Amino acid sequence: MKRFTIIILMSLYIIFSCSAGGVSESESGVNPETQIQNVSDNLPDYDTYPELVELMNSGAEYYLVDVRTAGEVATGYIPGALNISHENILEIEAEKDDIIVLYCRSGNRAGVALRELEAEGYNNVYNFGGFSKWEGETAYP
């Protein structure tokens, strides 16, 4: 009986997921992919490797902050990153409008630090996510 119930549920999931497509371009007159692309073109995220590298190569001033523990940083970090643990993130010596990109092991602690900075009035804070997303050279202390 359990097997039959699982098969029915999986079948319903497949049917609904295949038929749950969005409004097509011909129905709305707008290509949804273009619309999404246009919106994201205006928003710097720095949450993907190419975006972060673009920022690093742009000549813009920014803070790249590794919010992991010193022990974790000892296993490698992104070159040029500051190490300020997420518990001490408010010790950063940055202006409220400075670009601050945070990362940790998985992105969770960077998210905590981001929310704490935003609560203090910082408005250009981004979560790169986890160090595992970094594809470039790794520095060691």
- The total number of structural domains in the chain stands at 1
Is 18 tagged catalytic? no
Is the Cβ–Cβ distance between 87 and 110 less than 8 Å?
no
Q: Which amino acid is at 77?
A: Y
Average pLDDT over residues 105-113: 96
CATH number of domain containing 119: 3.40.250.10
Q: What is the pLDDT of residue 44?
A: 60
From 104, 114, 117, 125, active-site residue:
104
Pick the closest to residue 101 from 134, 73, 139 (CA basis).
134
- Give residue for tokens 């359990």: 2
- Residue 125 belongs to domain spanning: 45-133
Residue 60 within any structural domain of the chain: yes
20: confidence class by pLDDT, cuts 50, 70, 90: very low
**Beta strands 82-83 and 99-104, pairing class:** unpaired
Report the C-alpha gap between 49 and 68 in whole angstroms: 19
45: confidence class by pLDDT, cuts 50, 70, 90: confident
